[in-house]
Chain A
Amino acid sequence: MPSLFIHAGGLHLNNPVLLAAGILGTTGASLCRAARAGAGGVVTKSVGSVPREGHPGPNVVHVECGLLNAMGLPNPSYKDFQDEIDTARAGGVPVIASIFGSFAAEFAQIARSLKADAFELNLSCPHAEKYGSELGRYPDLVESVTGAVKAAANVPVWVKLTPNTADILELGLAAQRGGADAIVAINTLKAMAIDIETGYPILGNRFGGLSGPAIKPVAVRCVYELAGRLEIPVIGVGGVSSWEDAVEMIMAGASAVQVGTALLRGYGIFEEITTGLSRYLERKSLTLEELCGLARRRRS
């Protein structure tokens, strides 16, 4: 079987299929379980500087083409999260701590205080006031937050971008200028659903983020655009639900992929994707490096 081992974004990964932020990442035990189920790395639930309970429910709505969520960044704060990271590390794969704040110094403070294998900056959550994409849609803020965390942390720093912008490339370039070790693209698309019986927006927060199959073509396009211009690796996320989706994302230029909504089918998804990817590489006599960005080289 071809090797799925990669070095990307400053980390050595046994395979390029990672658990995405916000999915089964509240407890060290569930992160560990993802690692043991075959994830090449795991990203925690985003943690901030103060405890948050998140938005009132419903927090999740299944829509025709995907999943809508508005959790509202619930977390116990970084001060109460190191234990979970340490437990997660028992899974034997890199643990990437997703962190959020509303200004550069807040991000830096969290990064200084937590020990993880890497940080992923949540500059892209589409449904929390004063956080996520409310900062992450401004290139100058993306650059300054990234720079501040790079200065504070001695581990790789990944920056997760929002697609809720006219030009994601501008955001990617800003993160690269700030010193990011990798780009993670994309977070969810800002969306909503309405209960037609009563007219109530279904999510407690009214607005949420759309994930799942509906957003995969958007994610593929974003990864393609970013990987074509950036010098740092791009990690593709958004609607990856099968090994075919992973192949497509890697062909677009992703060095690795993250899986989120597809965990609705259970932890078996990691092995399903890595096995399929391996067989595909074998059948095509390709290495992972050769597959990465293949679509870019097919331009006529």
Chain B
Amino acid sequence: MRPINCIIEEVRSEAPLIRTFWLDRNLDPAPGQYVMVWIRGVDEIPMSFSGPDTITVQSVGEASAALFSLGRGSSVGLRGPLGNGFILRGKRILLMGGGVGAAPLAFLGEQAKGAGMRVASLLGFRSKEDLIFRDRFEALGDTIITTDDGSLGIPGRAAAGLKELDLFDYDQIYLCGPEMMMWDIISRTREHAKKTQACINRYFKCAAGICGSCCLDPEGVRVCVEGPVLMADRLAESEFGRYRRGPTGGKGPCRG
């Protein structure tokens, strides 16, 4: 599949470094799936869907900065939707995560609610200014917010909100956020790992399962095609939260 040409219909700023881009077509993604976005002449980067026809992007490098320079009417090339997204299970679900990782969770929560499930959320952000999609989450059900600087909700990391919840109340738990946040939550909720789906991030090059740049130790899971959503019990036994490979394939620290 060659990249599909796609026009950006609208751009909205969600937080200082986060924007949502409305695409001119619905690629029928599952929440948690991603799309390779080709900013022509610059690079191609994986992005998560925040809705059936939206991607929500945090500016972190050259390629996302180039995407931020594009406005309404600009075009990008798209390959996707790709990978395995979240699978809805049970009647009561909990969404946990934060930062730009809230994007696929909001999308997932809306699908879940539409299917008659009960949805609760625990979301962590650096500060009040970084909060995204508050209205979307609050429309879904009970929402607990934490901020690192205490400017809103419970002060501290997302895990600080865990004491407000009884995880046995939920049939399935969905995680998406910075790696160390997810690792922290997974480590503290090990007995729930078998019912926790986590959407993770690795360095993708081919996004087709053949180049090997995103493979997760020690099993060699090809995150770009077998993920990016993986069960937390599998992650608990992996490199996740300990190290990650960068563009050269060499190991480096996990960030965020």
B72, chain A: closest CB distance, angstroms: 18
CB pair B211–A22 under 8 Å, yes or no, is yes
CB pair B245–A59 under 8 Å, yes or no, is no
A83, chain B: closest CB distance, angstroms: 9
Q: Which of B42, B205, B209, B248 contacts A266 (CB 8 A)?
A: B209
B226, chain A: closest CB distance, angstroms: 9
CB pair A24–B208 under 8 Å, yes or no, is no
**B245: chain A residues within 8 A (beta carbon):** 26-27
Task: Give the dominant DSSP class at B's interface.
Answer: loop
Q: Which of B3, B44, B220 contacts A33 (CB 8 A)?
A: B220
Given contact pairs A27-B220, A30-B222, A59 touches B206 in the complex (Cβ within 8 A): yes
Given contact pairs A26-B211, A57-B44, A59-B205, A76 touches B77 in the complex (Cβ within 8 A): no
CB pair B212–A23 under 8 Å, yes or no, is yes
Any chain A CB within 8 A of the CB of B215?
yes
CB pair A56–B212 under 8 Å, yes or no, is no
Q: Which of B77, B205, B218, B250 contacts A54 (CB 8 A)?
A: B205
Any chain A CB within 8 A of the CB of B75?
yes
**B207: chain A residues within 8 A (beta carbon):** 60
Smallest Cβ-Cβ distance to A51: which chain B residue: B248
Cα distance A27–B248 in the bound complex, in angstroms: 11
Any chain B CB within 8 A of the CB of A75?
yes
Cα distance A156–B210 in the bound complex, in angstroms: 26
Any chain B CB within 8 A of the CB of A99?
no
Q: Which of B211, B216, B220, B248 contacts A53 (CB 8 A)?
A: B248
**Which of the segments B33-41, B86-94, B145-153, B188-196 contacts the partner chain?**
B33-41
B11, chain A: closest CB distance, angstroms: 20
Given contact pairs A74-B247, A80-B250, A62 touches B209 in the complex (Cβ within 8 A): no
Cα distance A27–B207 in the bound complex, in angstroms: 16
**A69: chain B residues within 8 A (beta carbon):** 206, 211
Q: Which of A59, A198, A266 contacts B211 (CB 8 A)?
A: A59
Given contact pairs A57-B45, A60-B208, A29 touches B40 in the complex (Cβ within 8 A): no
Any chain B CB within 8 A of the CB of A193?
yes
CB pair B40–A200 under 8 Å, yes or no, is yes
**B210: chain A residues within 8 A (beta carbon):** 23-24, 60, 260-261, 263-264
Query: Can you list 15 A-B pairs with a CB-CB distance of less than 8 A?
Result: A24-B220, A26-B213, A26-B249, A29-B215, A29-B219, A45-B249, A57-B44, A58-B38, A60-B206, A75-B248, A76-B250, A80-B250, A80-B251, A195-B40, A264-B210
Q: Which residues of B contact A (CB under 8 A)?
A: 1-3, 5, 36, 38, 40-45, 63, 75, 77, 79, 205-213, 215-220, 222, 245-251
